[in-house]
Amino acid sequence: MPNGGERALSIRKVLGGSSRRVTAQRTLLLELLQQSSGHVGAEELYRKAQEQNARMSLSTVYRNLQLFKELGLVQEHHFIEEHHHYEAKSEPEHQHLLCVSCGKVVEFVCPMSQRLKEDTAERYGFDIFDVEVRMVGLCPDCRWKGEDKDGGSSV
């Protein structure tokens, strides 16, 4: 686990040439996002940050999420609910399966998305930074709940 000095150097590197100050609040929010397993809403991130820094405000969380998004440090996802979910950008790039019944989100790696990005960039002359593939359906548990005991559909 990096100490405070190493952590500040890491955050400085991440914020890089953005001309943004490295603050304790930004450092904490980036660390929480990087440590998070899965997709975090702003309110959940705020609650986690409050446990470690009582002076953290919800507006600070929203402002910094926007900054992190602009700098390409986080991805913002809109799944079924009205609110946004965030996750730290990671390697390898991954995509999402979304269950429309229970809201479960499963991440998967899709090598074809990298090829699609490269082919499309070449064909249209775009500099493509990200590809988002979201497949929507029923997870095995919800699909099973929709079937009767004989294996037929109950619909």
Q: What is the pLDDT of residue 83?
A: 58
Range of the domain at 28: 1-90
Q: Are residues 81 and 122 in the same domain?
A: no
| Cis previous bond, 140, omega within 30 | no
Q: Mention every residue, 6+ apart, whose C-beta is less than 8 A from residue 36.
A: 45, 87, 88
Q: What is the pLDDT of residue 46?
A: 92
Instruction: Work out the angle between the directed axes of helices 42-52 and 24-35 (0-180°, nearest 10).
Output: 120
Tens-binned pLDDT, residue by residue, of the chain (155 aa):
444 555 455 566 767 666 677 788 888 898 888 887 777 788 889 999 999 998 999 999 989 888 888 877 777 776 666 656 666 666 667 777 888 888 788 878 888 888 888 999 999 999 887 777 778 889 999 988 876 444 454 44
Structure tokens at 68: 């992190």
Q: What is the pLDDT of residue 148?
A: 47
28, 69 Cβ separation under 8 angstroms = no
Q: What is the pLDDT of residue 81?
A: 60
Nearest to 84 by CA among 71, 68, 117: 68
Q: Are residues 119 and 82 in the same domain?
A: no
pTM for the model stands at 0.55
Q: Are residues 97 and 62 in the same domain?
A: no
Residues pairing with 96 in the sheet = 107, 134
